[in-house]
Amino acid sequence: MVLLRAGWTPATAADWLYTQTHVDTWQHLVLEAGWAPEAAVNRLVATLREALLTPA
């Protein structure tokens, strides 16, 4: 079972997830900063897991 870290509710976690994966973030990283799409996805997923989920 995966649990949210202390301090997060499902609603606040969903809000945070939405803002971090918004198309503006993608456009900045991939189109403006030149990140490879796969690198952007990998970094976003890793940092969201770290921020929101308890360690396995």
State percent of the chain over pLDDT 90.
93
Q: What is the torsion angle, in degrees rounded to the nearest 10, for the CA atoms of residue 12, residue 41, residue 37 and residue 20?
A: 10
More confident residue, 2 or 39: 39
Q: Which residue range(s) make up the domain with 41?
A: 10-52
Is 1 domain-assigned? no
Is 29 domain-assigned? yes
Please count the structural domains in the chain.
1
Is 5 domain-assigned? no
Q: What is the mean pLDDT of the chain?
A: 94
In whole angstroms, give the CA distance from residue 21 to residue 23. 6
Sign of CA dihedral 4, 7, 10, 15: negative
Give residue for tokens 């503006």: 24
pTM of the model: 0.82
